[in-house]
Amino acid sequence: MLEDWPAELDASARCLFLSDPPSGLRAVLVLDDLTLGPAAGGIRTRSYPSLRDAVRECSALARAMTLKCSIAGLDAGGGKLVVLDHPGLDRPRAFARLGELVEELGGLFRTAGDLGTTAADLDAMAATCRFVHADETGLAAAVARGLLRCIEACAEGQGHSLRSLSVGVQGAGAIGSAVTGALVAAGLRVYVADLDAKRAERVAREHGATVIEPAHLLKARLDVLAPCAVGGVIGADEARGLRVWAVCGAANNILSDDEAGAVLVERGIAFVPDPVASAGAVIAGIGRSVMGLPDPTPLIDALGQVARDVLRESAASGEPTPAIAARLAQRRLERVRARLRARAGK
């Protein structure tokens, strides 16, 4: 039992603790909501100060996935799996065993990669589980496509030409690299930062971008900031210091607190909430595997219109965009729940 159960874990969520002592596997799986269908969410692997911290992050990310799936019109709910990294973790054995445990859920949880989880980890898991999407390249490309549509919405809202924009991409992993490539191909000037300088240089060289020091990125005078690595990078203080007119990135939970969203509104900085901006991957995965769509790209492209609607409402009302997006997602959930209740009562 956890002594101070994280408030972020909704009372309706299911939280499973998964372990395998021989391989060192210790993991937390949160199934946030199953109203619309099976829970979808990636696998994050990192070290945590405590199990409570792991549950807190897992539950917040699972809730974001529920909102993401709902607002994207998917037949899926939100979930998340975090693996606690530590020196005794035998990754090949641990992820193979994790695949077996997820397989036992019979498709209730559909997953793919996320921060800290490697292609080799996913391959080991996919060998024992049918519900793992191991094609990181395809999913990253889907995220990049959706993010580009959302940046187009930001540009239109501010009366800018897309090809005139400068964008700072934070993170040069699989997602950051795909985003950098897509933006450069669309004619934007892209600056990429990563704590791993060699990785940033490789991505910049591959796509024709420019490297910028991570410490300088949040203060750089650019048009758009695109966080594409860890979440929680913009708090109220960071929001006050930004020198961009839009924030639109593929990281999950970009804002570290509600005050940051209010500061962005006060400063007139457009913010496409990440459940909208980063939804391309889950659309590509769930669109094919659960919904049977031969081509999910129209749903990915539709994220641009969702971004326009959310930005427009925020500009008119002064309400932060995350609250608006959450309300739109919640409305769909409530409509479906009402239909399910009516059907059960017949």
Q: Give the catalytic positions in this structure.
A: 80
d(CA 246, CA 226): 9
Helix (H, G, I), strand (E, B) or coil at 3: coil
Token readout for 225 is 């900031």
What does the DSSP 8-state code read for residue 196? S
Distance separating alpha carbons of residues 277 and 260, to the nearest angstrom: 17
CA dist., res. 181 & res. 222, Å (int)? 18
Number of neighbours of residue 106 by Cβ within 10 angstroms: 10
**For residue 39, what is the enclosing H or E element?**
strand 39-40
110-128 b/e (C-beta count within 10 Å ≥ 16 → b) = bbbbbbbbeeebbebbbeb
Residues 6+ apart with CB under 8 A from 87: none
The distance from CA 289 to its chain's CA centroid, rounded to whole angstroms, is 19
- 68, containing H or E segment: helix 51-71
CA dihedral 193, 43, 296, 103 (to 10 degrees): 160
Residue 120 — φ and ψ, nearest 5°? -65, -40
Residues 249, 227: Cα–Cα separation, whole Å: 5
Local structure of residue 190 (DSSP, 8 states): E
Q: For residues 62 and 100, is the Cβ–Cβ distance under 8 A?
A: no
3-state secondary structure 78-92: EEEEEEECCCCCCHH
What is the largest distance, in Å, between two alpha-carbon atoms of the chain?
Answer: 62
By the 10 Å C-beta count (0-12 exposed, 13-18 middle, 19+ buried), 100 is classed as middle
